[in-house]
Chain A
Amino acid sequence: MRWWLRALRKPRAAELDREIEFHLEELAREKMAGGMGEAEARREARLEFGGAERVKEEVRDVHRIPVWDAAWTHTRYAVRTPRAAWTFSLAVIATLTLGIGANTAVFSAIDAVLLRPLPYPAPDRLEVLHEWRAKLKNPQRPVAPSRLEDWNRMNRTFQAISGYYVEDAVDATGPLPVRLKRAIVAPRFLEVMGVEPEIGHDFAPADEHFHGSTAMSVLISDRYWRTHYRGDPGVIGQPLMKDRKSARVIGVMPPGFAFPDESVDLWFVNAPDAPYAKDRRETWFTAIGRRKRGVTEGQARTDLRLVQKRLGREYPVTDADLSVKMESLRETAIGGERASLWLLFTGVTLLLLIACVNVSSLLLARCLERGHEFSLRYSLGASRAAVAMQVMVESLILALAGSAAALVVALGCGRGLKSMAASIPRIGEIGLDWRVFAYAATCAVGVTLISGLYPAVRSGFAAPAGRLAQGRRAEVSRGGRAQGVLVGVQVALAVCLLAGAGLLVRSLVAMTEVSPGFEAGHVLAFRLTGGYGETGDVARLMSRVNQTLDALRAMPGVEAASASAFLPGVPVEYPLELTSPDSGFEPERRVTAEARYVSSGYFETMRIPVLVGSGCDVRPEGTGVVVNRSFVSAYYDGRTAIGRHLAERVDPYGFGPRAIVGVVGDAREAGLDRAPEPVVYWCGAPIDPGRFYLVRSAGEPAALAPEVRRKLKEIEPARAAYDVAPLERDLREAYGDVRLRAELLGLFALTALMLACVGMYGTLTYVVQRRRKEIGLRIALGAGRAQVALRFASRGMAVAGIGMAAGLGLAAWAVRLMAGMLYGVMPDDPVAFGWAVLAMMGVALGATAIPAVRASRLDPMEVLREE
């Protein structure tokens, strides 16, 4: 027989029975042949053979694999044992489900956002490139098309360099114009991304040259193809919009392709040799390059900087002050979320640790309770290792059950996170993949080791003989120290989490309570689609915006309307460096201010008080600037500012110096979490296509939205209004991550508090239970009931106190994780820490008082009679 057949052929019980049966019968036949009666022969045969059952057992032993078999025995035993104590098991599994579930949920977010590779071939070689003007306050700028071509041509370390920018497009096929997003890309875009169209082909070389006509080629997204062409494979060559001389579809991108972001549906290519693209000061593109295989980041960076140095010599006017900023695509895409996610992960890991400690003390309590059982097993010959292993196997089974339930919890939490944290890039990819499963399994093993090891070792080393003799009698002041340590650890971890959550919540409150200097209530904000192409005729663009504003102002219920390049209070930094020919600034003095581009009516709409002079209502439009109070106090120091002239140090649009026409109150334009800083408002309709319209309504702003949409359809039928929402909602969303962070960490902290409470209560109740006799004896011997209660409560509180002190120390160390996330509070904020201690103290008091009082109410007679 082949070895594998032999391996497959396990000795089945029936076969063994038959083999032995045959032997017995043959033996009996032999004896009958020797003259015995049948019955006697059989009896003799059986006697001679020995116990058939014992023989069978011995044969089975031969076929057992010792370790595996021992593990199986333990497992069977372990499954049976928890069943006997289902409340205990349920408590453990529920605790672990909560702990591992929350942990796995956060891990699944980290997995989706940070760990999973970007969905392009060799994504590690993709680098994002910017122009870098080291001398400016805001040094990072997009890249000019002609410069991008130079970089691509002259470097030796990149396979190819391309670029993109995103602008609005309109889908006018439906009843209301709908906004689309399109990307304008530089040549070689798909080559850099390493992606091919699913249907059709990449841009042809002819597409990447300027012909003077508007005939263009376009790549469309899979989504656009399905919704607008019903997935028709004959889409290639069809016009994009049916009614005009429009771009032709040349290809459909694969379903998962979402670059620059997932809402982009159309990709057009920009011809770098078009006349409007040749100005080296026109910076458009976020450049993206693919490093050659084997080239390090450092080599690529050095190479590009050398290239730019050469360009600086070639074009001294435009390129001399420039350098190159290079950052990996992954870092650009998710860099900002890393700290937040790791903070949450730390919080949720602390929670899991608390859960582990809880489980550990539950196990420990149960092991002590089962001391008798263990002692019995020792005396029957079980080794210490066997008993320890049994405890470990039991905790592993509980942990695995907890992990399995945790996956369900994680899936649910992941869904919640997806909708709550929609602003985090790639969060939509949260799902259960092998990494998450592996993580949950690792958690189970880790939990087993952390929570099971100590009880296991303790049970393994319990003195067997003594315990057995002692029975359950005379349990005086024993086995309490380990539990005390566990409770202390729990309290410390919970206090740490509470303090951290307290800091975040205080930041959030501080942020919402601060007066921003403008009134966001009753303001409806929206955007209108527009393209960068319109900036070619600024006068026409400004008059169009003003017409829209006039129409809005004429609507009933509208008190004021204006346009702005940025939403007030939503964090955007746009610092400019200024010069002034007539302000008498010292030549070395750097005058910097946040720049805002606003139309007439802005200060009225936002209710920002005009302190001196006027707002932006000067005529002709686009002549004045308004500064805020901080600007005046920073740079004019008592001198009058009105009438002086300001200009951008680097002035690409040629605004020239403009007179200061007014001074307004300080408003937190660049973010609610930023202290007022110097701001300069450039008056005149903002020419950037990404402008915002702000409408102050008499009533509820949301109620005004349908009316506004109707009006816009009437006056701008070819444009789509989008992001129509009250400004307050925009502000809330802008700080959604702060809120989410505070809420989640707060949730973790409360859960931790609850777990610690359960842990303390459970442990003390258990201690009291075990020491009933001692307590009964004490009371019988005349100890006061108050004294007994105090004894237990004070011991519990002492442990909690040590835990709290340790927790505060831990928190003081851990707050460094929150660098940059705190607003309006110091990292050692006494209020947050005080609340953490108070909350813990209150819970600890409750959790110790109940068992302590219960101890003092024991009836000594009843207890002593229990023997």
Chain B
Amino acid sequence: MGNGKSDLLQGTLDMLVLKVVALGPVHGYGISVRIRQISREVLQVQQGSLYPALHRLEKKGWLESEWGESESGRQAKFYKLSAKGRKQLAAEETNWGRLAGAVQLILEAGK
């Protein structure tokens, strides 16, 4: 992590993908770009691992997909959040909040 970049914590990729997709329909490349941008280049998604995750989420019914035209005018597969995915995202955010809070508490102990 010395270069100021961070690998993703196990299990958080799904949540991040859902969150990014919640902002509006987006294709796979777009998701990887946005995660990088929003996290100010800290979080680096293994580009390859993004696709199995996307298909898994779609299979679970949290994401829906549709082919459409990208900003560059080419055909790309756009993902958007389903109602079920929205609920899942809310649940994961709450969960994450609790987890992060708990980790924070431990780290602050004894300060």
Q: Give A residues with C-beta under 8 Å from B.
A: 1, 3, 6, 11, 15-16, 18-20, 22-23, 25-27, 29-30, 48-52, 54-55, 58-59, 61-63
Q: Which residue of A lies closest to B31 (CB)?
A: A23
Q: Contacting B29 at CB < 8 Å: which of A1, A3, A22?
A: A22
Count contacts on B: residues with CB < 8 A to the other chain. 25
Give 11 new A-B contacts, CB below 8 A, not counting A19-B77, A30-B33: A3-B61, A11-B55, A19-B28, A20-B51, A22-B70, A23-B28, A25-B74, A26-B70, A54-B48, A59-B55, A62-B56
- Given the interface pairs A27-B47, A49-B47, the reply to whether A63 lies near B75 with Cβ below 8 Å is no
- Whether the Cβ atoms of A49 and B48 lie closer than 8 Å is yes
- Given the interface pairs A27-B47, A48-B47, the reply to whether A59 lies near B52 with Cβ below 8 Å is yes
Q: Does B95 contact A (CB under 8 A)?
A: no
Q: Does B64 contact A (CB under 8 A)?
A: yes
Q: Does B46 contact A (CB under 8 A)?
A: yes
Q: Does B111 contact A (CB under 8 A)?
A: no
Please, how many angstroms separate the alpha-carbon atoms of A62 and B56 in the complex? 6
- Given the interface pairs A18-B75, A22-B75, the reply to whether A62 lies near B47 with Cβ below 8 Å is no
Chain B residues near A63: list those with CB within 8 A: 55, 59
Chain A residues near B55: list those with CB within 8 A: 11, 59, 62-63
Please, how many angstroms separate the alpha-carbon atoms of A26 and B72 in the complex? 9
CB distance from B95 to the nearest CB of A (A): 23
The winner among B27, B52, B61, B72 for most chain A CB atoms within 10 A is B52
Chain B residues near A62: list those with CB within 8 A: 52, 55-56, 59
Q: Does B76 contact A (CB under 8 A)?
A: yes
CB distance from B71 to the nearest CB of A (A): 9
Please, how many angstroms separate the alpha-carbon atoms of A740 and B62 in the complex? 69
Q: Contacting A26 at CB < 8 Å: which of B29, B58, B75?
A: B29
Please, how many angstroms separate the alpha-carbon atoms of A25 and B52 in the complex? 19
Chain B residues near A26: list those with CB within 8 A: 29, 70, 72
Sort A-B residue pairs by CB-CB distance and give the 4 closest, nearest first.
Answer: A50-B48, A26-B29, A58-B52, A55-B48
- Contacting residues of chain B (61-89) with chain A, CB-CB under 8 angstroms: 61, 64-66, 70, 72, 74-77
Q: Contacting B52 at CB < 8 Å: which of A48, A51, A52, A61?
A: A61
Please, how many angstroms separate the alpha-carbon atoms of A6 and B65 in the complex? 9
Chain A residues near B70: list those with CB within 8 A: 22, 26
- Whether the Cβ atoms of B51 and A58 lie closer than 8 Å is yes
Q: Which residue of B lies closest to A58 (CB)?
A: B52
Q: Which residue of A lies closest to B28 (CB)?
A: A23
- Whether the Cβ atoms of B52 and A29 lie closer than 8 Å is no
- Given the interface pairs A22-B76, A63-B59, the reply to whether A51 lies near B29 with Cβ below 8 Å is no
CB distance from A167 to the nearest CB of B (A): 77
- Whether the Cβ atoms of B29 and A55 lie closer than 8 Å is no
- Whether the Cβ atoms of A23 and B52 lie closer than 8 Å is no
- Given the interface pairs A1-B64, A50-B46, A63-B59, the reply to whether A22 lies near B51 with Cβ below 8 Å is no
What are 10 A-to-B residue pairs whose CB atoms are below 8 Å? Answer: A1-B64, A19-B51, A22-B29, A23-B28, A23-B29, A23-B32, A25-B74, A49-B48, A58-B48, A59-B51
- Whether the Cβ atoms of B52 and A22 lie closer than 8 Å is no
CB distance from B35 to the nearest CB of A (A): 14
Please, how many angstroms separate the alpha-carbon atoms of A49 and B52 in the complex? 13
- Given the interface pairs A22-B29, A22-B70, A23-B29, the reply to whether A50 lies near B47 with Cβ below 8 Å is yes
Q: Which residue of A lies closest to B58 (CB)?
A: A6
Please, how many angstroms separate the alpha-carbon atoms of A340 and B28 in the complex? 73
Please, how many angstroms separate the alpha-carbon atoms of A519 and B65 in the complex? 93
Chain B residues near A19: list those with CB within 8 A: 28, 51, 76-77
Q: Which residue of A lies closest to B64 (CB)?
A: A1
Please, how many angstroms separate the alpha-carbon atoms of A11 and B61 in the complex? 14
Please, how many angstroms separate the alpha-carbon atoms of A187 and B110 in the complex? 108
Chain A residues near B27: list those with CB within 8 A: 22-23
The winner among A15, A26, A51 for most chain B CB atoms within 10 A is A26
Q: Give B residues with C-beta under 8 Å from A.
A: 27-29, 32-33, 46-49, 51-52, 55-56, 58-59, 61, 64-66, 70, 72, 74-77
- Whether the Cβ atoms of B47 and A23 lie closer than 8 Å is yes
Chain A residues near B47: list those with CB within 8 A: 23, 27, 48-50
Q: Which residue of B lies closest to A50 (CB)?
A: B48
The winner among B28, B48, B77 for most chain A CB atoms within 10 A is B48
Q: Which residue of A lies closest to B48 (CB)?
A: A50
Please, how many angstroms separate the alpha-carbon atoms of A282 and B58 in the complex? 86
Please, how many angstroms separate the alpha-carbon atoms of A684 and B4 in the complex? 126
Q: Which residue of A lies closest to B52 (CB)?
A: A58
Please, how many angstroms separate the alpha-carbon atoms of A58 and B72 in the complex? 28
Chain A residues near B64: list those with CB within 8 A: 1, 6
Chain A residues near B46: list those with CB within 8 A: 50
Please, how many angstroms separate the alpha-carbon atoms of A602 and B58 in the complex? 95
Please, how many angstroms separate the alpha-carbon atoms of A25 and B72 in the complex? 11
Chain A residues near B49: list those with CB within 8 A: 50, 55, 58
CB distance from B66 to the nearest CB of A (A): 8
Chain B residues near A16: list those with CB within 8 A: 51
CB distance from A234 to the nearest CB of B (A): 68
Chain B residues near A50: list those with CB within 8 A: 46-49
Please, how many angstroms separate the alpha-carbon atoms of A371 and B52 in the complex? 38
Please, how many angstroms separate the alpha-carbon atoms of A6 and B59 in the complex? 8
Chain B residues near A59: list those with CB within 8 A: 51-52, 55
CB distance from B12 to the nearest CB of A (A): 18
Q: Which residue of B lies closest to A51 (CB)?
A: B48
Chain A residues near B75: list those with CB within 8 A: 18, 22
Q: Which residue of A lies closest to B74 (CB)?
A: A22
CB distance from B7 to the nearest CB of A (A): 14
Chain A residues near B72: list those with CB within 8 A: 26, 29
Please, how many angstroms separate the alpha-carbon atoms of A51 and B48 in the complex? 7
Q: Contacting A6 at CB < 8 Å: which of B29, B48, B61?
A: B61
Please, how many angstroms separate the alpha-carbon atoms of A22 and B59 in the complex? 21
CB distance from B45 to the nearest CB of A (A): 11
CB distance from B79 to the nearest CB of A (A): 10
CB distance from B94 to the nearest CB of A (A): 26
Chain B residues near A3: list those with CB within 8 A: 61
CB distance from B44 to the nearest CB of A (A): 10
Please, how many angstroms separate the alpha-carbon atoms of A117 and B43 in the complex? 74
Chain A residues near B65: list those with CB within 8 A: 1
Chain A residues near B58: list those with CB within 8 A: 6
Please, how many angstroms separate the alpha-carbon atoms of A59 and B59 in the complex? 11
CB distance from B55 to the nearest CB of A (A): 5
CB distance from A686 to the nearest CB of B (A): 87
Chain A residues near B59: list those with CB within 8 A: 62-63
Please, how many angstroms separate the alpha-carbon atoms of A343 and B75 in the complex? 73
Chain B residues near A23: list those with CB within 8 A: 27-29, 32, 47, 51
Please, how many angstroms separate the alpha-carbon atoms of A6 and B66 in the complex? 11
- Whether the Cβ atoms of B51 and A55 lie closer than 8 Å is yes
Please, how many angstroms separate the alpha-carbon atoms of A52 and B46 in the complex? 12
Please, how many angstroms separate the alpha-carbon atoms of A3 and B84 in the complex? 12
CB distance from B17 to the nearest CB of A (A): 14
Please, how many angstroms separate the alpha-carbon atoms of A3 and B27 in the complex? 21
Please, how many angstroms separate the alpha-carbon atoms of A345 and B24 in the complex? 71
CB distance from B5 to the nearest CB of A (A): 13
Chain A residues near B77: list those with CB within 8 A: 15, 18-19, 22
Chain B residues near A11: list those with CB within 8 A: 55
Please, how many angstroms separate the alpha-carbon atoms of A236 and B59 in the complex? 69
Please, how many angstroms separate the alpha-carbon atoms of A846 and B47 in the complex? 71
Please, how many angstroms separate the alpha-carbon atoms of A3 and B83 in the complex? 13
Please, how many angstroms separate the alpha-carbon atoms of A544 and B89 in the complex? 105
Please, how many angstroms separate the alpha-carbon atoms of A592 and B45 in the complex? 105
Please, how many angstroms separate the alpha-carbon atoms of A18 and B27 in the complex? 12
Please, how many angstroms separate the alpha-carbon atoms of A20 and B58 in the complex? 16
CB distance from A27 to the nearest CB of B (A): 7
CB distance from A641 to the nearest CB of B (A): 99
Chain B residues near A6: list those with CB within 8 A: 58, 61, 64
Chain B residues near A20: list those with CB within 8 A: 51
Please, how many angstroms separate the alpha-carbon atoms of A20 and B56 in the complex? 16
Q: Which residue of B lies closest to A61 (CB)?
A: B52
Please, how many angstroms separate the alpha-carbon atoms of A15 and B51 in the complex? 12
CB distance from B101 to the nearest CB of A (A): 32
CB distance from A217 to the nearest CB of B (A): 72
